[in-house]
Structure 1
Amino acid sequence: MEDIEWLLHQPDGGRALKVNERTRISDAQWDAVIERIDVAPGLRVFLTHATIHSDITVQSRDPGSGPESTPWASSTIAVEGHVEIEIPDGLQVTAGPDQAVLFRPSGRDPRYHVKAPQRLRLAGYALRRDRLERMFDGAIPPALLPLLEPEMETSRVICMHATRRLRHLAEGLFAPGLNGPLRLLFVEGVVLQLLASQMASQIRPARILTAREREAVTTAHRLLLLDMRRPPGLGDLADAVGLSEKRLNACFRSEFGSTVFELLRNYRLEHARIALESGAAPLKQIAWRVGYNHVSNFINAYTARYGAPPRRHVLKKQVAAAMPASRAG
């Protein structure tokens, strides 16, 4: 198990701190216990219990993170105290007893700024995209999808009200009274409840579409898919049907379960899959026809949707289709 390095930023420079299963720190800045729990592949939990004597900044330096790694969604819930989270791309949010945060940074890892004096108890977890897909059987909640795009140019953040139930769940992680496999099972169960509660807080009651909105969505759907190689921009599409961009996306979610360009991406990849299985054209040409200028971007999007790169996915389907015929023969 690799240790995770945390960089402590101090007035006179910085120093590295290796965080393994349980790390104790006691110095002029803080007295703290940081616990790292590798619950299962694709699921990691951090618990921080600290007394802060002077302002401190901590930056995680996880060897498993970075722009080239598999996407992870992270959450920070403050049971006690406040922490400012500085996320790349100029984003800064506060996690405290009244607000929890879900995020995925782009590029470098986030920094955590903690003001003194205060007592701090933070519960954090990180879930890898492939584990999330298995948990949701591929149907990841729409609110979570922006955090898990395979190609993400800017950081994404979701802030939600930290309800009493959410804080109570997070607090239970600090003293479960269990060890070994039983504790791992307990921690995993709590993380699942935390994620479910956080996602439930993002669900808004669906608004019934008016007749005019339904007509606008039907027209927008047709215009969007007329030419998948050169689709209209969201603003142009919204202007063409007389809706705002925000309302058009909301109407698409109501009618099709996805935003305008989530729907376009899904159609592109489905058409590409059919073309690949037919063998009618080489991969590069198919990618270009459905709107991907770079084959690598197409392969990443295809893999994220179908769980395997294009050629491997098609080969698996062909082998599966041939198996009954082979047995019959």
Structure 2
Amino acid sequence: MEDIEWLLHEPGGDRSLKVNERARISDAQWDATIERIDAAPGLRVLLTHAAIHGDIAVQPRDSETAPESTAWASGTIAVSGHVEVEMPDGLRITAGPDQAVLFRPAAGGARYRMTAPQRLRLAGYALRRDRLERIFDGAIPAALVPLLEPDIEASRVICMQATRRLRHHAESLFAPGLNGPLRMLFIEGVVLQLLASQMASQIRPAHILTKRERDAIATARRLLLLDMRQPPGLGDLADAVGLSEKRLNACFRSEFGGTVFEVLRNHRLEHARIALEAGAAPLKQIAWRVGYNHVSNFINAYTARYGAPPRRHALKNQVAAARPASRAG
């Protein structure tokens, strides 16, 4: 089995770590077990179980696939904890218990950033492009097509809700009990279930909403976001647009990817993120403006959404935004 070299990005400088079947790491940054499994031709799985003590970034460098790294599409599901996946061209996305990702880097490998303190249980898989094409046998889902183009100039990312079923499948990859060919067969089956579930989440039948319902939820969304400090309650909103509370939530989930409350929360936190990165106001004032009366509730919600506390996340984004200019040299 070929080795994977992990490049660890640490405050004291970069260092390399060789990982083959299983590696245990214990230092000031983290205590981790990392397992790399070649389950089948064109199918690779990486399982990480770690206690993060200090902020750290890791970047797998696989000697077998490095020259053609863009021929692989990868999936990341966090059973617990959060990780920020950074593409070589600067595109970044957070994977956590509420959001899973499928991606294909434009060139080189992705970098995984983990903030402390947290406990992380991360399941990742990579499928070679030709293997993916064989799996779908000419019926490739529309959402997956951008990840399978022969040549890409920019990294491609697909985000989806990390449902309980998705996390359950990912968790099962860590379960002991099988060895040898039986374990490889089990892992291959689980990865195919993960891929199927992730693709199914991208399918939204056009007939699920009538024109009246679309008009109603467009009005509801506008009313919901008019005043983030004092938004209407679910019952009032449903009455205003002539839908039941249950149907309103179902329509929101279909059209906007979340319930009424989730859409409001995400809108609040996105506004807060922009304000924080701009340095527009103190943290307490930003929290109040977007509808949080208690700063602690705001910090908890922000951390759950973006994987890091507000000030730390904003600072990292500011640093990352300034980095490309220095990289060019």
Which residue is equivalent to 1:91?
91
Aligned-pair distance for 1:148? 1.1
SS of the aligned residue for 2:16 comes to strand
SS of the aligned residue for 1:143 comes to helix
SS of the aligned residue for 2:44 comes to strand
Q: Does 1:58 align with 2:58?
A: yes
1:251-293 deviation per Cα after TM superposition (whole angstroms, max 9, x unaligned): xxxxxxxxxxxxxxxxxxxxxxxxxxxxxxxxxxxxxxxxxxx
Which residue is equivalent to 1:133?
133
Distance 1:81 1:33 in 2: 15
Check whether the contact 2:70–2:106 (CA below 8 A) recurs between aligned residues: no
Cα distance 1:69–1:76, how it changes in 2: closer, same or farther (>3 A)? closer
1:37-77 deviation per Cα after TM superposition (whole angstroms, max 9, x unaligned): 10011000000000111111101112244564561110000
Check whether the contact 1:66–1:107 (CA below 8 A) recurs between aligned residues: no
Aligned-pair distance for 1:89? 2.2
Q: Does 1:169 align with 2:169?
A: yes
Check whether the contact 2:78–2:100 (CA below 8 A) recurs between aligned residues: yes
Q: Which amino acid aligns with 1:134?
A: R
Check whether the contact 2:55–2:114 (CA below 8 A) recurs between aligned residues: yes
Q: Does 1:149 align with 2:160?
A: no
Return the TM-score normalized by structure 1.
Answer: 0.61
How well do the aligned residues superpose, as a CA RMSD in angstroms?
1.5
Check whether the contact 2:73–2:103 (CA below 8 A) recurs between aligned residues: yes
SS of the aligned residue for 2:36 comes to strand
Q: Which amino acid aligns with 1:199?
A: M
Distance 2:25 2:70 in 1: 31
Q: Does 1:198 align with 2:198?
A: yes
Q: Which amino acid aligns with 2:8?
A: L
Which residue is equivalent to 2:24?
24
Distance 1:86 1:64 in 2: 21
Cα distance 1:68–1:189, how it changes in 2: closer, same or farther (>3 A)? closer
Which residue is equivalent to 1:105?
105
Aligned-pair distance for 1:107? 1.2
Q: Which amino acid aligns with 1:123?
A: A
Distance 1:3 1:67 in 2: 15
Distance 1:19 1:66 in 2: 15
Check whether the contact 2:72–2:128 (CA below 8 A) recurs between aligned residues: yes
SS of the aligned residue for 1:144 comes to helix
Aligned-pair distance for 1:88? 2.4
Q: Which amino acid aligns with 2:77?
A: I
Distance 1:207 1:64 in 2: 46
Distance 1:13 1:89 in 2: 22
Return the TM-score normalized by structure 2.
Answer: 0.61
SS of the aligned residue for 1:73 comes to strand
Which residue is equivalent to 1:33?
33
Which residue is equivalent to 1:11?
11
Distance 1:203 1:50 in 2: 34
1:135-178 deviation per Cα after TM superposition (whole angstroms, max 9, x unaligned): 11122111111011111111000000000000011001101411
Cα distance 1:192–1:176, how it changes in 2: closer, same or farther (>3 A)? farther
Note the residue ranges of structure 2 that are not aligned, 5 or more in a row: 209-329
Check whether the contact 1:71–1:149 (CA below 8 A) recurs between aligned residues: no
Give percent identity, aligned residues only.
79
1:2-30 deviation per Cα after TM superposition (whole angstroms, max 9, x unaligned): 10111001111111011101011011111
Distance 1:70 1:108 in 2: 7
In terms of Rg, which structure is larger? 1
Which residue is equivalent to 2:188?
188
